[in-house]
Chains A and B, each alone.
Chain A
């Protein structure tokens, strides 16, 4: 049941093209435009490159996130999902996982290539990719809570970023800190990285439970 839902959502993401590919194109355009805005100073780019990749990943994750429960609510699928034997938190987990596989994972895979455009050193490239791999699930599942909260609202897409961006800030701080630690000898890598792992694990559990709780409120 769980995997049937994941498979269906991935199939939908691939066919409609709204989720995965749109996030990737957005990520790509943000990162390619950045050097033009900042100027041709390679040292500066290399210094802020990790931060640019992380901010771009955060914004790209927000794309399409508002639709994951709203679309189900609008066409009545949510009613039937709630009547399924699969517990609601697992439904939220399956949909979050599918969203991450369709949107988050492509960003992680594209990050090393785009890092080249920002003149990142190989070590930093590796660090950014690793922190994104560990950190993007936190972004997705924090967003899932917002998506569940706004699923019943017609213009929920506007409120969602305002709701979840403050929650995403700590993830951003630890992610960029761990990435930069790869070049700066003064800052440790492991501490922010482990905090990032913790944030992801926490967001996974809390997001799933909170998401299920807010979905139950929609009908009433």
Chain B
């Protein structure tokens, strides 16, 4: 399996964010998308996730599955954690597992892996920023999708949590997954780098 992009271009309002972009990521490989603030890292991830329209070119997973669009084979973790303060971590994970389909780990197992078992029954509103972030990563584990799109995954995480995240990513890569991460810091797993350069 490989994720590839050809001649990709994206426009936000009147500005071309990037064009003629090409990359290829093989199964088991991570690609770190780097570049200055505003270079289009987040935009690229959102384009791959199908959340922004493509102006030109294509991005696809090979081999393609006819009936399943790329977006449904991607996990996306953006800057916002997609958590409802009134729901407990267990309920949030159960809900997203039901919505995303292809169940993998149970919500309780996923919480154990990210080290949040003690907060399983607490409304998410009481969690700290780092804990909410870890809960967002637990979402990646409850359903199986081959491509992980991570937008600055290490923000708000302490050193121990960064190590834990690196282990999660390493496991995902070992099982033949693909990671595309927008980042300013080293990911903690071997990764090729795609530099989007400066704002322009």
Q: Is B53 an interface residue (CB 8 A)?
A: yes
Bound CA–CA A203/B41 (angstroms)? 40
Interface size on B, residues (CB 8 A): 28
Interchain CB contact under 8 A, A12 and B99? no
Interchain CB contact under 8 A, B91 and A11? yes
- Residues from chain B with Cβ under 8 Å of A16 in the complex: 86
Min Cβ gap A75→B in Å is 6
Q: Is A79 an interface residue (CB 8 A)?
A: yes
Bound CA–CA A112/B98 (angstroms)? 38
Given that A11-B91, A12-B87 are contacting pairs, would A82 and B50 also be in contact in the complex, using a CB cutoff of 8 Å? yes
Bound CA–CA A8/B90 (angstroms)? 12
- Residues from chain A with Cβ under 8 Å of B53 in the complex: 220
Q: Is A117 an interface residue (CB 8 A)?
A: no
Q: Is A4 an interface residue (CB 8 A)?
A: yes
Which residues of B in the span 69-95 have a Cβ within 8 Å of any Cβ on A?
71-72, 74, 76, 78-84, 86-87, 91, 95
Min Cβ gap A218→B in Å is 9
Q: Is A166 an interface residue (CB 8 A)?
A: no
- Residues from chain A with Cβ under 8 Å of B12 in the complex: 220
Interchain CB contact under 8 A, B80 and A76? yes
Bound CA–CA A105/B21 (angstroms)? 52
Interchain CB contact under 8 A, B81 and A75? yes
Which residues of B in the span 45-85 have a Cβ within 8 Å of any Cβ on A?
46, 49-53, 68, 71-72, 74, 76, 78-84
Of listed B81, B95, B96, B99, residue having the most chain A CB within 10 A? B99
Bound CA–CA A77/B78 (angstroms)? 10
Given that A8-B95, A16-B86, A75-B84 are contacting pairs, would A85 and B50 also be in contact in the complex, using a CB cutoff of 8 Å? no
Q: Is B101 an interface residue (CB 8 A)?
A: yes
Interchain CB contact under 8 A, B46 and A4? no
Q: Would you give 12 A-B contacts (Cβ < 8 Å), ordered by A?
A: A12-B86, A74-B80, A75-B82, A76-B79, A76-B80, A76-B82, A79-B46, A83-B50, A83-B51, A83-B71, A85-B72, A219-B46
Chain B residues in contact with chain A, CB under 8 A? 12, 46, 49-53, 68, 71-72, 74, 76, 78-84, 86-87, 91, 95-96, 98-101
Starting from the known contacts A79-B82, A81-B99, 6 additional A-B residue pairs (CB-CB under 8 Å) come to A5-B95, A8-B87, A8-B91, A76-B79, A83-B76, A85-B68
